[in-house]
Amino acid sequence: MKSELYEKRMTLYRAAVEEYLDLLFTDKPTYSALFDSMRYSLLAGGKRIRPILTLEFANLGGVDWRSALPYAAAVEMVHTYSLIHDDLPCMDDDDLRRGRPTNHIVYGETMAVLAGDALQAEAFASIAGADCSDASRARAAAVLARACGARGMVAGQVLDISGASDEAALTQLHALKTGALICGAAELGCAAAEADEKLFSAAHEYAAQIGLAFQIRDDVLDVTASETVLGKPIGSDKEEGKTTFVDLFGVDGCRARILACTEAAKRALDGIDGADFLCELADRLATREM
């Protein structure tokens, strides 16, 4: 895919996601402070990679990608809840996220916890209310629950607390903490399209590989980027005594592994018609600067 076509589709997807999210939680009940807290983090920007994966895999599955917007919003709500909770003093204790104060700094720890809790529940409400078949909604709910639950993202957080000191343990940690939800995002698009198992399998492998590349790139940026560009504290893993891929392989070794994961992601799409956008996305994520 030529870059201008990639940029056009990326802009289209991002705009659709932002517009959809901006319509959520806009009413003003007596507890509207909760909605304010939820929207503060949900609308804070970011790359929106997860919902974009949902929309593109729905497109590859042969349906109008707009029909997958409730699923795309669902995965972004779960991702946002995880960031709110990850920043809490009892977890990573971060004061900055995407270039501005974290949720608990603005709204307090109690409201931040509740905002995260609410976003997780509302994600499943978004799936339940989607204009898709019963079979599609049921599979989507199962996909998201697996991705974010006790055998997915939350398990990864537990491993992160415990720490990892070798490649196998670190890879498992990030496959769960980061990769599981990225895989879930891709599979949600397949669920929206009621795709065959070939596309589900390709989506899972592609997303697992870009998820690992994404995390290794994060570790590199944590030692090479500036806080201003990255929009969050740098060097925090080192301060907390956490082992990173840079600790194990150095910056050059990490770059080699990012390239290997990226190539594996693209190979996972062999035989899938129209996969150029996803191949270019993988290449761009491998060299991102923030």
Kindly report, residue by residue over 103-119, the tens digit of the pLDDT. Answer: 999 999 999 999 999 99
Residue 286 has pLDDT above 60, yes or no: yes
pLDDT at 23: 98
pLDDT at 241: 72
SS3 of the chain: helix, strand, coil, percent, to 5: 75, 0, 25
Of 38, 45, 85, 2, the closest CA to residue 231 belongs to: 45
Q: How far from each other are the two terminal CA atoms of the chain, in whole angstroms? A: 23
Strands 96-97 and 100-101: antiparallel
**One CATH from 1.10.600.10, 3.30.450.20, 1.10.760.10, 3.50.50.60 for 3-286:** 1.10.600.10
- Residue with the larger pLDDT of the pair 226 and 71: 71
Task: Compute the distance between CA of residue 53 and CA of residue 9 in angstroms, rounded to an integer.
Answer: 12
pLDDT tens, 183-198?
999 999 999 999 999 9
Residue 225 has pLDDT above 90, yes or no: no
pLDDT at 242: 84
pLDDT at 226: 63
Residue 55 has pLDDT above 60, yes or no: yes
pLDDT at 233: 61
Residue 228 has pLDDT above 70, yes or no: no
